[in-house]
Amino acid sequence: MTLLARLASDVQLMFRRPPRQQYAALCYRVKKKTGELEVLLMTSRDTGRWVIPKGWPMNRKCAYEVAAQEALEEAGVRGTVETETLGDYTYPKVLRDGMKVTCKVQVYALEVTGVAKNFKEKGERTVEWVSCDEAVKRVQESELRNLFLAFKQRMAARLSNGIPKQIPAE
């Protein structure tokens, strides 16, 4: 490698920013009558692409609590959020000032137990319940598609084993 090429590479590395951290909820429900797994997708406010509820870190809230808060504010759903991450994905985001940054999003599963009639971003997005396969077709980020596929497998195993959500008291 020439000295000039090496200098150019070093300068490029110096100005590269680390990914910005966000937290998201992969919201799901299992239909009582059919046992069918559905996941929640919504449109982003800026580009209209299909996404899951996500947001920036919040003071005095841990990552999974942020994910649950974003699900309520953006999609009007509440439920039980897992404390262990499902995984993460990255995507390019254009900030308000026009600067492009890479965001790394940690994703937490949230089993939806209720839907709010009114919520912060009601009317600003389209919210739909779809199968994991449909979610894979709609989302643009390949890493997020992989999370939906892995989640589908995990839930299929859990549902086929008939694992109860709660262990009854004896």
Which residues does the chain have with pLDDT short of 70? 1, 4-17, 162-170
pLDDT digits (tens, 9 = 90+) for 31-54: 888 889 999 999 998 888 999 999
> Which one-letter amino acid corresponds to residue 112?
V
Residues 51, 17: Cα–Cα separation, whole Å: 24
pLDDT digits (tens, 9 = 90+) for 78-95: 999 999 999 999 998 888
Residues 45, 55: Cα–Cα separation, whole Å: 13
Plot region of 29 (φ>0 → left; ψ -120 to 50 → alpha; else → beta): beta
Q: What is the pLDDT of residue 63?
A: 97
Q: Determine contact, residues 36/131, Cβ cutoff 8 Å.
A: yes
Distance from the Cα of residue 108 to its chain's centroid? 7
* Global confidence as pTM: 0.83
Q: What is the pLDDT of residue 6?
A: 67
- What is the largest distance, in Å, between two alpha-carbon atoms of the chain? 73
Q: What angle do CA 137, 158, 151 make, to 5 degrees?
A: 25
